[in-house]
């Protein structure tokens, strides 16, 4: 990006937060995001402290035709938070959360992580519908749909939005809600970063916690067929307060796992029951007595602890490559495929994951929001993760091979936030559905005709 020193100094004078160039000592630390495979170098990083900073930066980028990327939590698998050569607009300093206990809503700034929101809402025994890893940014999660342990009860994260404050491509601050700019409100509830920069989200809250019944049960890999077959029937009968996530991977050196299991293939079922504790104990009893588990850490625990239980599997700085599809059911063929490819995992950090979803999602129409595939029951996520660049090819190939083998048993639909950098138009359509995607493309022309917000999963052809 080329601007004169005078113009740049004038821009900096209108920004309260730090403005960082490639020569700044903190530049590499700030530009680094969660996925170490992404190594882009923006020409300028603007660390916004509020909506006024975002507005000023957007107007500047638009005036000078800069490529613009937006970072919230920086946790997106495709690395869309950071661009090469352009302006990276960093919201990670904007992490304020306010809770309206009586109205059961929370307003969170666009740079918040899930952990930020959970920490404040749980003070009051309330929770927003968010994701599974506390370091995830709420911005990308929510504008991409979002799902987590509470989605079976209450739907996608975006289904539980009350309003958003948005900076448009023109640098105009707008409120998007059902009663104000409703088309923009629709587009932002799943349409990603195509339409503006959300500087704050207002969420519905629900009485959850501060304690829930949750944790995991672990078995050796030789029991995987039995466990997954049980998982298939068990998840068909559990109430919406109970969400189960099945994981096939190599056992990490976790203190709660027996030492003789470390480094060996395992299958685990993570569980969150957000209803009554006594009821949950009865519901989960058959799971906990299944076969010969090597560990059982299901217990009464803080909801915030449950929300961060998977954090250690997703540290910043590893190399990540994911492939994902939706499933309408857990079929015997998908069980066999998962077991076969779990035995071939080349990295101790990779996993094959089944997220349970059936429930409230399907009670809303397919066009309620752009976040499509409301008839889904499970998300299959093949999460390849490793340490060294020299191992890129073998780990990516494993994920692709597993995905190809599982694809015939999927619905063909996918989750927009799980698409990696290389996946294009066909996969984006699979995430939204054709009708929703066509509607999004028309709204893109209305709200961002110059395509300023193009460093995202584009809804344009």
Ordered by where they begin, the domains of the chain are 5-90 (3.30.43.10), 97-208 (3.30.465.10), 211-418 (3.40.462.20)
Q: Is the pLDDT of residue 291 over 80?
A: yes
pLDDT of residue 372: 84
pLDDT of residue 218: 98
Range 16-43 average pLDDT? 96
Reported as a pLDDT band with limits 50, 70 and 90, residue 426 is very high
Q: Is the pLDDT of residue 56 over 90?
A: yes
Q: Is the pLDDT of residue 1 over 70?
A: no
Q: Is the pLDDT of residue 312 over 70?
A: yes
Range 11-31 average pLDDT? 95
Range 89-101 average pLDDT? 97
- pLDDT, averaged across the chain: 96
Q: Is the pLDDT of residue 231 over 80?
A: yes
Q: How far is the C-alpha of 97 from the C-alpha of 109, rounded, in Å?
A: 7
Range 307-334 average pLDDT? 95
* CB neighbour burial string for 5-20, b if at least 16 within 10 angstroms, e if fewer: eeeeeebeeebebbbb
Reported as a pLDDT band with limits 50, 70 and 90, residue 342 is very high
Q: Which residues contact 145 (CB under 8 A, 6 or more apart)?
A: 156, 157, 158, 189, 190, 369, 370, 371, 415, 416, 417
Reported as a pLDDT band with limits 50, 70 and 90, residue 108 is very high
- Exposed / middle / buried, residue 28 (Cβ in 10 Å: 0-12, 13-18, 19+): exposed
Distances in Å between the alpha carbon of 17 and those of 167, 173, 199? 17, 19, 15
Range 70-83 average pLDDT? 94
DSSP reduced 3-state for 222: helix
Range 181-207 average pLDDT? 97
Q: Is the pLDDT of residue 145 over 80?
A: yes
Reported as a pLDDT band with limits 50, 70 and 90, residue 237 is very high
Q: Is the pLDDT of residue 52 over 70?
A: yes
Angle at the Cα of 203 from the Cα atoms of 372 and 51, rounded to 5 degrees: 100
């Amino acid at each position: 990006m080329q601007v004169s020193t005078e113009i740049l100094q004038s821009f900096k004078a209108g920004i309260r937060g730090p403005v960082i160039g490639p020569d700044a000592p903190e530049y590499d630390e700030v530009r680094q995001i969660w996925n170490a495979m992404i190594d882009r170098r923006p020409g300028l990083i603007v660390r916004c402290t509020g909506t006024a900073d975002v507005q000023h930066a957007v107007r500047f980028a638009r005036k000078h035709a800069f490529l613009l990327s937006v970072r919230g939590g920086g946790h997106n698998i495709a690395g869309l938070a950071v661009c090469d050569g352009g302006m990276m607009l960093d919201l990670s300093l904007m992490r304020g959360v306010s809770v309206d206990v009586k109205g059961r809503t929370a307003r969170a700034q666009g740079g918040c992580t899930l952990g930020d929101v959970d920490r404040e809402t749980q003070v009051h025994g309330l929770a927003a519908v968010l994701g599974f890893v506390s370091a995830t940014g709420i911005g990308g999660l929510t504008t991409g749909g979002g799902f987590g342990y509470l989605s079976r009860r209450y739907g996608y994260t975006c289904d539980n939005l009350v309003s958003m404050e948005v900076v448009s491509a023109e640098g105009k601050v707008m409120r998007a809600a059902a009663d104000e700019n409703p088309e923009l409100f629709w587009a932002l509830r799943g349409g990603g970063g195509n339409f503006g920069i959300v500087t704050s989200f207002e969420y519905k809250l629900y009485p959850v916690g501060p304690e829930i019944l949750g944790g995991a049960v672990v078995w050796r890999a030789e029991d995987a067929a039995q466990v997954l077959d049980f998982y298939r029937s068990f998840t068909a009968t559990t109430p919406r307060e109970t969400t189960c996530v099945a994981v096939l991977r190599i056992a990490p050196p976790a203190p709660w796992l027996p030492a003789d299991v470390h480094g060996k293939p395992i299958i685990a079922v993570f569980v969150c029951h957000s209803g009554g504790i006594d009821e949950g104990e009865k519901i989960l009893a058959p799971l906990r007595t299944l076969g010969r588990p090597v560990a059982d850490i299901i217990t009464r625990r803080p909801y915030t602890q449950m929300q961060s239980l998977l954090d250690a599997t997703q540290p910043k700085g590893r190399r990540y490559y994911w492939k994902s599809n939706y499933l309408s059911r857990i079929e015997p063929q998908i069980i066999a495929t998962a077991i076969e490819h779990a035995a071939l995992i080349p990295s101790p950090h990779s996993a094959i994951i089944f997220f349970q979803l059936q429930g409230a999602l399907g009670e809303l129409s397919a066009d309620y929001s752009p976040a499509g595939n409301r008839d889904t029951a499970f998300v299959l996520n093949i999460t390849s993760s490793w340490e060294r660049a020299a191992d890129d090819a073998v780990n990516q190939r494993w994920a692709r091979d597993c995905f190809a083998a599982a694809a015939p048993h999927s619905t063909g639909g996918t989750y927009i936030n799980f698409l990696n950098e290389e996946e294009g138009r066909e996969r984006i359509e699979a995430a939204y559905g054709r009708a929703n995607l066509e509607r999004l493309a028309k709204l893109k022309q209305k709200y961002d005709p110059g395509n300023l917000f193009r460093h995202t999963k584009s809804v344009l052809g």
